[in-house]
A = this chain, B = another copy of it.
Amino acid sequence: MADQKKLTRAEQKALRPIQILDAAFEEFVRNGFTGARVDDIADRVGVTKGTVYVYFETKEKLFEAMISHFSVPFQELLAITASLSGSAADRLMSMLGLLYDQIAEDRTTRELTRLVISEGQRFPDLIDRHHDQFIAPVIAKIDNLILEGVESGEFREIPVEFSDIVVAPILTTTVLRLIFDDRRVPTPDREAFLRTYFDLLFNGLLVDRR
């Protein structure tokens, strides 16, 4: 705030909407759509309420713009996984590791998930976009990786609806962190978590199988 004094008018202006979106993110996350106050969002930026309305017509539009702003589709993630090599298991692990980082460990995505859960009913479009841009591509990718593993003889054949199960530990970690946020349930150690996750995923719980 102090060093923004040096910015020119034009720079300020280009910055404003982003500052507001950032502030909106924090307030909407903390209080939900209805609970958040435009006044508080403005305060966070250091401007007055009116200024928010210079850039966003309504609180609702601001909310939607904020969601769009922070919802950077998993383009890169999918791109990376496309270039993976190695066994199907290796590629699946790489993908799940990336997903873990992007969903469970990244605060932004995590809190976006909270908003999707809590405000989804009020903003159905939000859900649709979230599904199309996040869920569907990821699920499709996982399906593919598993199918390839099946075809190469690495993986056992498994009904098609199972992808949720494969990624479940990631979403579950995300949700538990949203709920407990280090209060009761400690944030798991990334490496240890993934090790156990993958071990169970690939080998299962039973000692002696067949």
Contact pattern, A 36-66, Cβ under 8 Å of B = 1, otherwise 0: 0000000000000000000000000000000
CA distance A128 to B197 in the complex (A): 27
CA distance A99 to B209 in the complex (A): 25
- Which of B156, B166, B171, B206 makes the CB contact (< 8 A) with A154? B206
Closest chain-B Cβ to A107's Cβ sits at a distance in Å of 14
Q: Are A197 and B118 in contact (CB under 8 A)?
A: no
5 cross-chain pairs, A with B, having the tightest CB-CB distances, nearest first? A118-B118, A204-B204, A168-B168, A168-B172, A34-B35
Q: Are A209 and B207 in contact (CB under 8 A)?
A: no
Interface residues on A, range: 35 or more
**CB-CB nearest in chain B for A188:** B161
State whether the Cβ of A84 lies closer than 8 Å to any Cβ in chain B. Answer: no
CA distance A159 to B199 in the complex (A): 11
CA distance A120 to B4 in the complex (A): 35
State whether the Cβ of A135 lies closer than 8 Å to any Cβ in chain B. Answer: yes
Q: Are B32 and A161 in contact (CB under 8 A)?
A: no
State whether the Cβ of A155 lies closer than 8 Å to any Cβ in chain B. Answer: yes
Q: Are A203 and B156 in contact (CB under 8 A)?
A: yes
14 CB-based A-B contacts, threshold 8 Å: A89-B206, A114-B117, A127-B184, A153-B207, A154-B206, A155-B205, A159-B195, A162-B200, A164-B172, A166-B200, A168-B169, A171-B172, A171-B175, A200-B204
CA distance A179 to B114 in the complex (A): 10
| Cβ < 8 Å to B, chain A residues 147-184 | 149, 153-156, 158-159, 161-162, 164-169, 171-173, 175-176, 178-180, 183-184
CA distance A200 to B201 in the complex (A): 7
Q: Are A127 and B179 in contact (CB under 8 A)?
A: yes
Residues of B within 8 A of A162 (CB): 196-197, 200
| Cβ < 8 Å to B, chain A residues 112-158 | 114, 116-122, 124, 127-128, 130-131, 135-136, 146, 149, 153-156, 158
